[in-house]
Amino acid sequence: MAKLTDETLTLIFQLLRQLAEGIEDASATEWLLFERYGETERTITELDELQSARERQRISYSRLNSILLTVLEAQPVASNAMLDLLAQAIEQASANLAGSNASIREIKEVWNLSS
């Protein structure tokens, strides 16, 4: 196993949890918007944005988790390239999370939704 620092593992597990919560929030918000207002000319853009936010977070979750498993299985140590890939996945996941959460919050505010 390639030994990652406790700090790195904590960061990754926090990100994975936040991504999971974001995926759930995007799905719940999409459902609530659809249930209340339907798929109309007024809602289609927001419904699409919620689907996109969920998908970006799902991809980030999957990528980060897959790379983490690859690093953990590397023997005797993970290559620098693999560790760089993990760092990039962390950065991308953080950026996707922030952007997606901002989109979800904005849609909730505009449509007065709480899930």
Average pLDDT, the chain: 95
pLDDT of residue 75: 77
Residue 115 lies in a domain: no
Dihedral angle computed from the Cα positions of residues 85, 88, 94 and 95, in that order, rounded to the nearest 10 degrees: -140
Structure tokens belonging to residue 110:
């505009």
Residue 112 lies in a domain: no
Q: What is the DSSP letter of 98?
A: H
Residue 69 lies in a domain: yes
Mean pLDDT of 20-48: 97
Residue 39 lies in a domain: yes
Residue 72 lies in a domain: yes
Residue 114 lies in a domain: no
Using a CB cutoff of 8 Å and minimum separation of 24, what contacts does 36-42 make? 36/111, 36/113, 37/111
pLDDT, tens digit (0-9, with 9 covering 90-100), for 75-110: 788 889 999 999 999 999 999 999 999 999 999 999
* Host domain of residue 80: 6-107
Residue 49 lies in a domain: yes
Number of structural domains (the chain) is: 1
Check pLDDT > 90 for residue 113: yes
Residue 83 lies in a domain: yes
pLDDT of residue 114: 81
Check pLDDT > 90 for residue 66: yes
pLDDT of residue 77: 82
